[in-house]
Structure 1
Amino acid sequence: MKYRIIPVTPFQQNCTLWWCESTKKAAVVDPGGDIEKILLAIEEEGVVLEKILLTHGHIDHVGGTG
């Protein structure tokens, strides 16, 4: 399992991209915003997004879920 922390929004909270090294299946945890940065990280790591996980409902953690 590998991960990459992606600071997002002006608050710079942690969005995390997690993935399996063998399958390249990935999950994004707390995509609060800055979707372009998150999508770029997914592309750079060459992984396939399968899940979005939310730790709680504050806007700085769920703002980019849609």
Structure 2
Amino acid sequence: MTDTPPQKRYWRGQIRLPAPLAAWLAERAAARYRTINAEIVDLVLRAQEQANGTNHLSRTNQ
């Protein structure tokens, strides 16, 4: 484990989404028993994997 403080391991920011997209995201997160933040992280990781041509088999809730 790293000695880096948690606040340095994550980017913290604020985003704006159109209301219909936010509603879709909230529904998708609820269906997967995740927070909206966790759902965003999963979607971005999937996009990154697709862009890089990689796939992390250890991920859950696919």
Q: Considering only CA atoms, is the larger Rg found in Structure 1 or Structure 2?
A: 2
TM-score past 0.5 threshold: no
Higher-helix-fraction structure = 2
**TM-score scaled by length of structure 2:** 0.24
